[in-house]
Amino acid sequence: MIQIVRAKKANPNRHDAPAYESSGRNVEQKRDEQLLAEHLEGRPGAFDELVERYSRELFGFLCRFAGNAAAAEDIIQDTFVQVHLAAHTFDPARSFKPWLYTIAANKARDYLRSRSRRQEYSLDAQIDEDGPSAAQNLEDDAASQEEEFDASEQRALVQRIVNEMPEHFRMILTLGYFQQLPYAEIATILDIPVGTVKSRLHAAVNHFAKLYKSRVAT
């Protein structure tokens, strides 16, 4: 049975990553794929190193996509459980990070679908090859209006708008803009061509900009 590193209690009104506990070990940095292989071989602590390495990064991604810090922590737990269960299926010739993000994205989608079903029941009874440069448009558009909001209001407004976007736009905007993943990694995570990543991200940025301007104008 694996034991996931537990996070200290997070402030639900912030999207800062919780302070995940550190093992305190000063170990030589190893490749993700090597750590996963060592975990499969039974080396104690190998899996914990992967969890510690990616928990904060995943928390930021999942907070943006799911729109809920508590849900993000739960999805992180589910993600690493799935990584443990599916570790034997990982192709060591591939990169670990896109594989991890694919699992996290699928778990996040499951959460959103489950939440949507619960809401329906209640009513009845996301150009430079090194990174998504198109996202710069989003930052430029937002900067001109930033003085009208303090930092917390700005973050809350951005998150509300992201939550309102269709799932395919929300996902690619989160991966491309907030996580700043390269196009190639996003393509692997979403299983779509790099060209589709670029066009979809461009459309997502434009969609966000329209929603943002409409909120600020009111």
DSSP E strand stretches across 71-169: none
Dihedral through CA 205, CA 177, CA 199, CA 213, nearest 10? 0
Q: Which residues pair with 131 in a beta bridge?
A: 128
Q: Region 147-158: what's the mean pLDDT?
A: 72
Q: What is the pTM of this model?
A: 0.69
Dihedral through CA 22, CA 26, CA 30, CA 32, nearest 10? 0
Q: Model confidence over 55-89: pLDDT tens digits?
A: 999 999 999 998 889 999 999 999 999 999 999 99
**pLDDT band (50, 70, 90) for residue 118:** low
User: How far is the C-alpha of 193 from the C-alpha of 86, rounded, in Å?
Assistant: 25
**187 contacts 218 by C-beta, under 8 angstroms:** no
Written as one string, the DSSP assignment of 157-203 is: HHHHHHHHS-HHHHHHHIIIIIS---HHHHHHHHT--HHHHHHHHHH
**pLDDT band (50, 70, 90) for residue 145:** low
36-40, 100-104, 131-135, 137-141: range with lowest mean pLDDT: 131-135
Higher model confidence: residue 47 or residue 129?
A: 47
Q: Region 43-54: what's the mean pLDDT?
A: 95
Q: Model confidence over 164-188: pLDDT tens digits?
A: 999 999 999 999 999 999 999 999 9
User: Most confidently modeled of 13-22, 39-48, 115-124, 134-143?
Assistant: 39-48
Mean pLDDT, the chain, integer? 80
214: tokens are: 């409409």
Q: Which residues pair with 7 in a beta bridge?
A: 20
Domains of the chain: 32-123 (1.10.1740.10), 126-217 (1.10.10.10)
Q: How far is CA 209 from CA 60, 179, 188, 203, in A?
A: 21, 18, 26, 10
